[in-house]
Structure 1
Amino acid sequence: MTSHDLQRGDGPRGDRPRRRYFSAEYKLRIVAEYEAAPDGEKGRVLQREGLYSTSIDLWRRQRDNGELTAAGPASSARARKTPEQLELERLRKERGATLPQ
């Protein structure tokens, strides 16, 4: 049997954990809960959710920079687009034609 004969999920990386993704609503809720917790209880919030304090730090920065809104991924995806991508979208809408990507 070769690696080409294996189905997906088989093989040395088949049982590998998948990356977790969190919604903006979840991040905002957890940051608020973490910040409201007394100093001795903050660790319990992290432990219960299976998170590290670095995630909270990142989510705080995202919230403070306006990158993390309750509107969800559509607004944050738009915030990550470069000015060139935004201009290309505008031109596509104006012309109504499909330009090369």
Structure 2
Amino acid sequence: MANEIVQAVRQAEQEAVKIEKEAIQKAETMIQKANIDAKQLISSMTKEVLAKSQKDLEQAQLHGEELMVTAVQKAEKEILLLKEIVKSKEQNAIELVLSEVI
């Protein structure tokens, strides 16, 4: 009977060692999977951030181009207005010179 108890204890110890090894193996597998998942998540999030940054940059460039076009159009209108003012003053100057000469 004592032999049976010793054998049962040894078997229990062996079973405990086996369970411990399995638990360690499962833990290592889970850690490896977690590392892989984390790397994939980081990669995915990085791609998303880069895509959003690229889209934001393109929108900013378009907005800048629109502002430039608007500024050029405004400048062209001001140039035309200034040319009309100069033309008007030129005509007045010619008339003044002619009136003084005559």
Q: What is the TM-score when the length of structure 1 is the normalising length?
A: 0.21
Report which structure shows greater RCO (CA 8 Å, sep ≥6). Answer: 1
Bigger Cα Rg: 2
Q: What is the TM-score when the length of structure 2 is the normalising length?
A: 0.21
Give the number of the structure whose residues are more often helix, by fraction: 2
